[in-house]
């Protein structure tokens, strides 16, 4: 059933029927509207008693719109809690910084030279040939850091480890804390790059020795159709849209459920106008948690342009896991 639904959305020959895809924006008006969707979508209220350390570029948790899926216990979606500047910051980090050595990228050594493989974004933007630019651009599909996932053995390896960026760690811990997972330790990340037309087939993330800690997923750029199924491929998955800025948490039972991205849909356009109307109050928030220069620069049109062009036809997903169990020091 999972594979059949995957195929239906992936189809190249015709436009797929999108009526069953859950769009959380349909539920943003009144609570009553939530009843429309078969009772699968429920509003979730996040109440925080303790004050939390906020990060620039994120709206106050009181303003977040969070949902859960009744048919998939453990899945939580926070509909774009970022400001426009916040989204730009993370997009720029994913493109400019995270794919650099010592982080690992998918680029094949037979097809790309060392400079491209060690600093993809820099080399891409030095490239003047249009076809070569496109080749380098669309070849980037993932980068890993923290504990690197070994795709061949499907294991994590103590020897294969790079540092986990402080800013991304703070970001994950903010969401973990707000949702009640104050012990969560971000230890491994995969950033997935999806040029329009690319997909991620059905799988379960079971390589982590710790299979109970939740998984945090951040989506930027173009919209994904995301399928969330059950623990077997027999169960029919639910299709949802993951849009730019959306945060998804796979906790509890859903942590070990099949999921996939059968399609990327081009819906987002760059929204420069939103920047002007946004009030990022820098005075009250800890700018030092981020790369301050980058956070400022993403508002400069010339600085932002290459990033804007990239996400104009691509999606970026940051997928963060805790690898170790509490009390383990090493693998
Ligand atoms: C993954 C994954 C989903 C996504 O990286 O394991 O499931 O939304 N990504 O891109
Ligand atoms: Mn996955």
Query: 283 burial class (0-12, 13-18, 19+ CB within 10 angstroms)?
Result: exposed
- The residue ranges of DSSP E strands in 204-323, in sequence order, are 215-221, 223-228, 238-242, 247-250, 259-265, 314-321
pLDDT at residue 209, rounded to an integer: 87
Ligand 2 center to residue 204 CA distance, Å? 6
H helices within the chain, ranges in order?
2-10, 84-92, 114-118, 120-126, 130-139, 166-178, 272-277, 292-297, 301-311
Tell me how far apart the alpha carbons of residues 188 and 159 are, in angstroms, rounded to a whole number. 13
CA torsion, ordered 92, 95, 98, 100, to nearest 10 deg: -130
pLDDT at residue 149, rounded to an integer: 75
- Tell me how far the alpha carbon of residue 62 is from its chain's centroid: 22
**Structural domains present in the chain:** 2-106+141-321 (2.60.120.590)
pLDDT at residue 27, rounded to an integer: 81
CA nearest neighbour of 52 among 223, 176, 218: 176
**Atom 6 of ligand 1: nearest residue by CA position:** 205
Ligand 2 center to residue 66 CA distance, Å? 21
Residue 275's SS3 state is helix
Ligand 1 center to residue 28 CA distance, Å? 25
pLDDT at residue 169, rounded to an integer: 97
pLDDT tens-digit profile of 6-34?
A: 999 998 877 899 999 999 998 876 555 55
Give the residue with greater pLDDT, 147 vs 225.
Answer: 225
Least reliable range by pLDDT among 87-96, 285-294, 301-310: 285-294
298: pLDDT strictly greater than 80? yes
**Atom 10 of ligand 1: nearest residue by CA position:** 317
Tell me how far apart the alpha carbons of residues 313 and 137 are, in angstroms, rounded to a whole number. 11
97: pLDDT strictly greater than 60? yes
Tell me how far apart the alpha carbons of residues 206 and 155 are, in angstroms, rounded to a whole number. 9
Mean pLDDT computed over 243-248:
98
Output the DSSP codes for 63-129: G--EEEETTSTTEEEE---B-HHHHHHHHHIIIIITTSTTSEE---TTTS-HHHHH-HHHHHHH---
Q: Is 316 in the pocket of ligand 1 (CB under 6 A)?
A: no
Global pTM value: 0.94
Tell me how far apart the alpha carbons of residues 75 and 259 are, in angstroms, rounded to a whole number. 11
């Amino acid at each position: 059933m999972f594979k059949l639904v995957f195929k239906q959305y992936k189809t190249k020959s015709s436009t797929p029927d999108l009526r069953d895809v859950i769009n959380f924006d349909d539920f943003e008006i009144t609570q009553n509207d939530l009843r429309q969707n078969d009772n699968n979508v429920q509003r979730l209220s996040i109440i925080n008693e303790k004050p939390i350390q906020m990060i620039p570029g994120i709206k106050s948790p009181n303003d977040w719109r969070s949902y859960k899926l009744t048919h998939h216990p453990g899945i939580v979606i926070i509909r774009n809690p970022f400001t426009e500047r916040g989204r730009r910051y993370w997009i720029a980090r994913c493109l400019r910084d995270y794919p650099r050595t010592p982080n690992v990228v998918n680029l094949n050594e037979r097809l790309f030279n060392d400079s491209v493989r060690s600093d993809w974004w820099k080399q891409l933007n030095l490239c003047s040939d249009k076809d070569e630019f496109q080749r380098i651009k669309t070849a980037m599909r993932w980068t890993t850091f923290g504990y690197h996932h070994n795709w061949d053995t499907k294991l994590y390896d103590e020897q294969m480890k790079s540092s986990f960026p402080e800013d991304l760690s703070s970001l994950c811990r903010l969401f973990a804390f707000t949702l009640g997972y104050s012990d969560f330790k971000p230890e491994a990340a995969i950033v997935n790059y999806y040029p329009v037309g690319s997909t991620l087939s059905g799988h379960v993330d079971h390589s982590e020795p710790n299979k109970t800690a939740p998984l945090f997923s951040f989506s930027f750029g173009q919209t994904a159709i995301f399928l969330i199924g059950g623990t077997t491929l027999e169960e029919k998955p639910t299709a949802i849209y993951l849009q730019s800025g959306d945060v998804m948490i796979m906790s509890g039972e859903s942590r070990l459920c099949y999921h996939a991205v059968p399609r990327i849909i081009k819906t987002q356009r760059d929204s420069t106008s939103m920047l002007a109307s946004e009030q990022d109050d820098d005075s009250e928030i800890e700018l030092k948690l981020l790369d301050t220069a980058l956070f400022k620069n993403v508002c400069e049109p010339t600085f932002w342009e290459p990033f804007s062009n990239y996400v104009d036809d691509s999606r970026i997903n940051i997928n963060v896991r805790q690898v170790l169990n509490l009390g383990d020091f090493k693998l």
